[in-house]
């Protein structure tokens, strides 16, 4: 399916923010949307992992955040909030240029423009997905998930004052993905973006 660029290259101005807790599938669908619409993909998680690598952490593997070392880095971020602030400043710079999909927890609250999507999935569903993805037991996935999310929420509450996963007021669309597969999530968001974001682009730029 071809991107919906329109006669005036609308997608060059488009900014999408895809958000959801770990295991909701936000990174997967954000990359697919970026490819479909010909946009750049920028991830706050990837930027943070780059910082972690510079600090000596071994950040290999998609599920690094749900490892003991990933959790230790979260503790380091709690004690040095400037790490997250600098990453978010860089994401804001990218957003100002337009033509980007942002895979970020902070951007929906910090960014004034953009079409913002929240992917809603239960803790049980997300833990099962993470266990399968990272070859973990369900118990281990649940433990890492709870510890990671508690610390992540504390970081953003201290840094910006918002409650991640609880305050959904910044979002234009909330999609329940508990019973949806990857293709179904993508198709639902594609239709929403085509019919809401691109047809009313001036509201989101």
Structure confidence at residue 50 (pLDDT): 80
pLDDT in tens, 151-179: 999 999 999 999 999 999 999 999 999 99
What is the pTM (predicted TM-score) of this model?
A: 0.85
- In percent, the amount of the chain with pLDDT more than 90 equals 61
**Helical segments of 55-100, H only:** 68-79, 82-97
Smallest CA-to-CA distance from 52 within 87, 19, 92 is with 87
Q: How far apart are CA 135 and CA 120, in angstroms?
A: 23
Average pLDDT over residues 35-61: 86
154 close to 81: Cβ distance less than 8 angstroms:
no
Q: How far apart are CA 125 and CA 24, in angstroms?
A: 8
Which domains are present in the chain?
11-203 (3.40.50.300)
């Amino acid at each position: 399916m071809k991107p919906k660029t329109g006669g005036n290259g609308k997608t060059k101005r488009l900014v999408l923010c895809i958000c959801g807790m770990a295991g909701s599938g936000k990174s997967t669908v954000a990359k697919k949307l970026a490819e479909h619409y010909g946009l750049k993909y920028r991830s706050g998680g990837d930027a943070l992992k780059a910082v972690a690598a510079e600090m000596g952490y071994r950040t290999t593997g998609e599920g690094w955040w749900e490892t003991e070392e990933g959790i230790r880095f979260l503790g380091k971020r709690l004690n040095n909030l400037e790490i997250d602030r600098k990453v978010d400043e860089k994401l804001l710079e990218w957003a100002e240029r337009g033509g980007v999909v942002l895979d970020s927890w902070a951007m929906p609250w910090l960014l004034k423009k953009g079409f913002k999507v929240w992917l809603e999935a239960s803790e049980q569903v997300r833990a099962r997905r993470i266990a399968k993805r990272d070859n973990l037991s369900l118990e281990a996935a649940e433990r890492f998930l709870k510890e990671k999310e508690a610390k992540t929420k504390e970081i953003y509450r201290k840094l910006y004052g918002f409650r991640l996963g609880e305050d959904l007021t910044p979002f234009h669309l909330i999609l329940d993905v508990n019973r949806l597969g990857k293709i179904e999530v993508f198709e639902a968001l594609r239709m929403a973006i085509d019919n809401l974001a691109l047809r009313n682009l001036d509201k989101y730029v």
